[in-house]
């Protein structure tokens, strides 16, 4: 299981049994999002399917939105971990290859990870591709939009693994790139349930060309 940041939980699970219970609740949350969507998701049903008392649910999560927030952060952790592994196995040494792999990995998670088509890294969608549920654009942090956090985490990965420049302009460029990719990939999944391949390819071209003005060595 990918760890959930302690900051997303009411209480940090210390014992193995508690860690497993939190993981089951997040797993069932993801499955229910896939089955009934955000509007149909209830804390009572998550607890029932996870096999935990409702009181145990509220020991760790304040409400439904808190549960989904923890799932979104777990998704982001999983995405970055998968990228790190794929960069290493593919021998990625430049950012252009990293862009393609990042888009491919995101699309793969959209297609195969339970609940990911409804909530990936924060914003909750009524259906894959949109529209969003009101009030979830800053689900991960009350002061920052979700994609600001995603871009910052990606910047850390790019700097650490690929030796990209650390100038302040990189943070802004990656935020713009994440926003653009988010919009195009939502469109791709609106056009076709599994993601329109032509639009996915166009997304890669768009991001590579944009970042070419901000990152050297590609």
What is the rounded CA–CA span in Å between residue 83 and residue 205? 19
Range of the domain at 14: 6-211
Domain with 114 in it: what CATH number? 1.10.357.10
| R_g of the chain, CA atoms, integer Å | 18
Q: Is the pLDDT of residue 197 over 70?
A: yes
Which has more confidence, 155 or 44?
44
Judge whether 61 and 105 are in contact, CB under 8 Å. no
Q: Is residue 147 part of a domain?
A: yes
Q: Is residue 30 part of a domain?
A: yes
| pLDDT, averaged across the chain | 87
What is the rounded CA–CA span in Å between residue 176 and residue 178? 5
Query: Hey, how many other C-beta atoms are within 10 angstroms of the C-beta on 157?
Result: 18
Q: Is residue 217 part of a domain?
A: no
Q: Is residue 218 part of a domain?
A: no
- Determine the distance from the C-alpha atom of residue 119 to the mean position of all C-alpha atoms in its chain, rounded to a whole number: 7
Please compute the mean of the pLDDT values over residues 44-73 and round it to a whole number.
Answer: 95
If one counts the domains in the chain, the total is 1
Q: Is the pLDDT of residue 10 over 60?
A: no
Q: Is residue 216 part of a domain?
A: no
pLDDT digits (tens, 9 = 90+) for 175-193: 999 999 999 999 999 999 8
The pTM assigned to this predicted structure is 0.88
What is the rounded CA–CA span in Å between residue 125 and residue 117? 8
Which has more confidence, 71 or 3?
71
> Which range (167-171, 177-181, 209-213) has the least confidence?
167-171
Share of the chain above pLDDT 70, in %: 90
> Which range (103-117, 151-165, 195-209) has the least confidence?
151-165
pLDDT digits (tens, 9 = 90+) for 68-127: 999 999 999 999 999 999 988 888 877 788 899 999 999 999 999 999 999 999 889 887
211: tokens are: 């970042």
Task: Tell which phi-psi region holds residue 51, choosing left (phi > 0), alpha (psi between -120 and 50) or beta.
Answer: left
| First and final C-alpha spacing in the chain | 34
Q: Is the pLDDT of residue 167 over 70?
A: no
Convert 182-196 to b/e letters by CB count within 10 Å (16 or more is b). Answer: bebbbbbbbeeeebb
Give the pLDDT of residue 7.
Answer: 47
Q: Which helix (H) or strand (E) holds 13?
A: none
Give the pLDDT of residue 218.
Answer: 45
Q: Is residue 60 part of a domain?
A: yes
Q: Where are the alpha helices (DSSP H) in the chain?
A: 16-40, 43-50, 54-60, 64-90, 95-112, 146-162, 168-191, 197-211
Going by C-beta distance under 8 Å and a sequence separation of 6 or more, which residues neighbour residue 172?
A: none
Q: Is residue 176 part of a domain?
A: yes
Q: Is residue 1 part of a domain?
A: no
3: tokens are: 């760890």
> Which range (1-10, 131-140, 145-154, 188-197) has the least confidence?
1-10
Give the pLDDT of residue 164.
Answer: 62
């Amino acid at each position: 299981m990918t760890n959930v940041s302690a900051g997303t939980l009411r209480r940090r699970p210390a014992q193995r049994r508690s860690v497993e219970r939190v993981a089951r609740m997040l797993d069932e949350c993801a499955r229910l999002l896939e089955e009934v969507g955000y509007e149909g998701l209830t804390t009572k049903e998550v607890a029932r399917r996870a096999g935990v008392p409702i009181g145990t649910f509220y020991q760790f999560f304040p409400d439904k939105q808190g549960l989904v927030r923890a799932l979104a952060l777990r998704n982001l952790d999983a995405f970055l971990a998968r990228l790190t592994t794929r960069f290493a196995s593919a021998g990625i040494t430049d950012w252009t290859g990293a862009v393609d792999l990042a888009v491919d990995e995101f699309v793969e998670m959209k297609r195969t990870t339970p609940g990911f088509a409804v909530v990936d890294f924060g914003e909750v969608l009524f259906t894959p591709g949109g529209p969003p549920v009101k009030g979830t654009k800053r689900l991960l942090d009350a002061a920052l939009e979700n994609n600001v956090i995603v871009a910052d985490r990606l910047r850390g990965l790019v700097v650490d693994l690929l030796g990209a420049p650390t100038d302040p302009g990189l943070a802004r460029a990656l935020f713009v790139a994440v926003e653009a990719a988010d919009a195009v990939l939502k469109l791709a999944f609106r056009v076709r349930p599994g993601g329109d391949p032509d639009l996915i390819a166009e997304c890669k071209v768009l991001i590579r060309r944009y970042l070419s003005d901000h990152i050297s060595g590609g």
